[in-house]
A and B are shown apart, each in its own frame.
Chain A
Amino acid sequence: MKSGRTTTGLWRLLSLPLLLFFLLPLVALLLRAPFDRIIESVMREQVRSAIGLSFVTTLISAAIIVVFGTPVAYLLAVRHGRIEKLIDTVIDLPTVLPPSVAGIALLLAFGRRGLLGPAFTVLGVDIAFTQVAVVLAQTFVAAPFYIKSAAIAFAGIEVDLTQAASLDGANNWDIFRHIMAPLAWAGLVSGLVMSWARALGEFGATILFAGNLQGVTQTMPLAIYIGFEANLDTAVTLSVILMGLSFSALLMAKALLNRAG
């Protein structure tokens, strides 16, 4: 018992350097935050439009991620063939690629001169420099977080349950709706929150693919980047807001998982 406590203490001590390394920059940011002028900062046109734009685009991205990511997650959970392993690897790719690579790739695929450019031109659709581009960039980098989490949640459901349901005459859609989705919901929601937080922080792919125009494509991370050069107060205010949102999102995701577990 006593030795157990000592080892815990030791591990905590060993965890300290990295924890401090994480916390120090965040503390520095909070110390520099113009809290006395924060209302004034938030009321600035540029800050308000960046916050609004970030919310709208990330919510759309999250919706797209659920609709198109859930089937992929389900597939990865129930099948483990060679093709699924390949899909799994493809899904992993955006999480390790530099976002700037994602931005260039998206531009070369969906831009006016991109692979699909001529098709879009025929339809009269232009994606680069629009909010559609912002959403695509966010979805590209953020979707893997949801898919991974959802796949693990689906895979955690006992096979007996689905087999029993199947014997009782339930079809695949019934099984998904009445067994898989309810049992996996904590994993789904926490994965979605993680995805949303990642989308909220998306910068590199957005600035390359969607450009930077206040009120149109200038999301919070872009306003922080440009604001850093023009007005440090703007940049710090937005950084603190972004940090608060991300921290709450992560706490929420973890609380959900703990409740389910």
Chain B
Amino acid sequence: MIRDITIGQYYQTKSVIHDLDPRVKLMGTLVFIISLFLGKNVWLYLGATAFLAMVIGLSRVPLKFIIKGLRAVVVLILFSTVFNLFLTEGEVVLTIWKLQITKEGIYTAAFMVVRLMYLIVGSSLMTFTTTPNHLTDGLEKGLGFLKIIKVPVHEIAMMMSIALRFIPILIEETDKIMKAQMARGADFDNGGLIKKAKAMVPILVPLIISAFRRANELAMAMEARCYHGSEGRTKMKPLKYKKNDYIAYIVMFAYLAGMIAIKVLRPGMI
């Protein structure tokens, strides 16, 4: 069950998107997110859909796998739908008891659902196609200019990559500890809130201890290999832009320009 969460996972396959420089993908995700917030307009969303469909197609990540990731946020999406539907003022279409559904509400709700889903799909596409190591490499290099104002970019990137690396390990560990305690008769499904919270203790204590043990071992192993931060550290595979990366940048900015053009030319909702 705990393995069902696909957000943040890497999906291994070979594709044009997988081979792109992580900086391009980071920038692309940023551009896509900005484009989603340009406005509420059907044409804008059609544009975003086309762009997203193209990237999904190129990435070769199965649609089923991507949609599975949305399951985790169904509740959030439902919340936003309900609130937008009932709490937007405007032309009343339907009245149920004291609640009013307005035309504007329907539009806003629909737009918000699509926007939320696209936000999640767009950003998880980045993690599906980029290994955590690549991602932090990209961040480190892309944000390298911050070093001038003494931001420890390398250290932050290293912490991030370690944190990301540990997520699956800790999930697996949780699974294992849960099973071990279940084998000793622990019950995590029944009982009230307090009982359930109490049942977490036999999982959390070993989990935290093991996280500390792992951190300790990792620090030891890094020091044993003379790790001492960014100074003088070189990369085995330095990031370099290739032809495809430049093409991707061009496509990306053409997309953004197109979206802005739509926004200027068709200001209404439809």
Q: Do A and B come from one complex?
A: no
Using CB atoms and an 8 Å cutoff, list the residues of chain B in contact with chain A.
none
